[in-house]
Structure 1
């Protein structure tokens, strides 16, 4: 609550000042636009692509290990073939000879199967490397785009962050000057109207931004500043042009100091 009871005119001036401050904050946010979200999305995309690269490289290592294992298996089979062939020279009967021949044949099949797998793995490696290269190119492009957007955002933030923080403090100060009931009404209207304009001046016989004419009697009451009047069509709080002009001039000086 306010420390002292404000007159209706003082309340109107404070509300309009609060509107001017909040509109300036809105302008700063509009300058940033979708850039913070765009940067966040790019960061997530780059993180996802890095995870994909790690997975692809991990898969590649597994395939390469499989090839090594198959090559080792081939060497083992070759040694066994030599052993079984040598043993055939010392057999006692045909049954032993045939048994060793089957072992040799089995190892030959094992070698053929291993070589077939190695060919398949080699094709897989070539395919994985192609995907890794494509992913790397896309990742580099997205990283460059992210750096550009981060730089763009940082530049805007460095230009506006100090002013925005100062304006937020000013907004808080003005809110404390106004009774809670009015602040709540102001915020409610702000969320429900276009451009967040809850307090507007009468322009050419209509509320700012509206085409609905305000009756002359109501315009006189607004100019009298004896009660808070809202536009029957938009719900906005209305102030007279003279008051609005005085407050704009006053707040422009405040804004200049905050930059």
Structure 2
């Protein structure tokens, strides 16, 4: 790797423009993926949430069915108690005992009424939960299918671009190593502050690429001389002459074609 102290201004400009071309290529690859990785992540969270909710609904349903079974058992116990107290009434010695047993029978009958009311309410709850489970299952199935489709889409893109992206990331790090820290930091700062990530641009028809602001002829001559790093006063981007840009683009195209 070249020693950064030995690089001329021209070499620095070439290294910067090469780095820009590599990083722009990485940007293109990531733009192809777009929001897909986040979309897959969101869908995975949604599917997990729906699955958890569905399991809870099923557990609640089992719990209610168990409670109904218990209530029905309690009703049978209350009926058995009524039968026992009714039998006992036949053998009472006085009205006080008869009335006491009558109150017990009345209490048991009230307990049966309460249990039957609770069973009706629980059955209504089962009906509602069963409907909710059916809807949730349908939604979960649709989301799972959608997730599977999106994952396949992402996997296909990843399979196509992963090798190229890994190669380019290595090359980006390699070219970063050729550039002095102060200049590299400036490049990264400009790259994050501009919309399209272009920190180094060439002169095209008297203006910096992508800009409508004309660069004065004297400045254009200085850029073409490649004796100092010059930035666009309007956008802050580092400027290179079109000949250097063409040469480096051709060089990078050969590099990219080997991937």
Give the TM-score normalised by the residue count of structure 1. 0.97
- In structure 1, the partner of 2:12 is 11
- Count, aligned residues: 258
Structure 1 ranges of 4+ moved more than 6 A:
none
Task: Provide, for residues 187-209 of structure 1, a one-character-per-residue CA deviation record: whole Å limited to 9, x for no partner.
Answer: 11111112000000001100000
2:191 aligned residue: 190
Secondary structure, aligned partner of 2:6: coil
Instruction: Name the SS of the counterpart of 1:195 in structure 2.
Output: coil
Query: CA separation in 2, counterparts of 1:31 and 1:2?
Result: 33
2:121 & 2:192 partners in 1: Cα distance? 63
Retained in 2: the 8 A contact 1:2–1:178? no
Report the Cα offset of residue 94 of structure 1: 1.6
Is 1:135 the counterpart of 2:136 in the alignment? Answer: yes
- Match of 1:177, SS state, is coil
Matches within 5 A, 1:1-259: 3=3, 4-258=5-259
SS of the aligned residue for 2:239 comes to: strand
C-alpha deviations, 1:31-72, integer Å up to 9, x for none?
A: 000111111111111111111112111211221121111101
Aligned equivalents of 2:68, 2:233: Cα separation in 1: 80
* CA distance in structure 1 between the partners assigned to 2:195 and 2:35 by the alignment: 18
In structure 2, how many angstroms separate the alpha carbons of the residues matched to 1:77 and 1:103?
10
Structure 1: give runs of 5+ residues left out of the alignment. none
Secondary structure at 2:201 match in 1: strand
The structural deviation recorded for 1:85 is 1.0
- For structure 1, which segment, 223-232 or 118-127, has the greater mean C-alpha deviation from structure 2 after superposition? 223-232
Q: TM-score, normalised by structure 2?
A: 0.97
Distance apart, 1:2 and its partner CA: 5.4
Inter-partner Cα distance in structure 2 for 1:181 and 1:111: 86
Cα RMSD for the two superposed structures: 1.2
Could you give the per-residue CA deviations for residues 143-173 of structure 1, whole angstroms, max 9, x where no partner exists? 1111111111111111111111110000000
User: Structure 2: where are the runs of 5+ without partners?
Assistant: none
The separation in 1 between residues aligned to 2:212 and 2:31, in whole angstroms, is 25
Query: Counterparts of 1:46 and 1:107 in 2: how far apart (Å)?
Result: 48
Aligned mates of 2:254, 2:62 — CA distance in 1 = 66
Q: Output the CA distance in 2 between the equivalents of 1:10 and 1:139.
A: 58
Over residues 111-148 of structure 1, what are the superposed CA-to-partner deviations in whole Å (9 max), with x where a residue is unaligned? 11111111111000000000111011111111111111
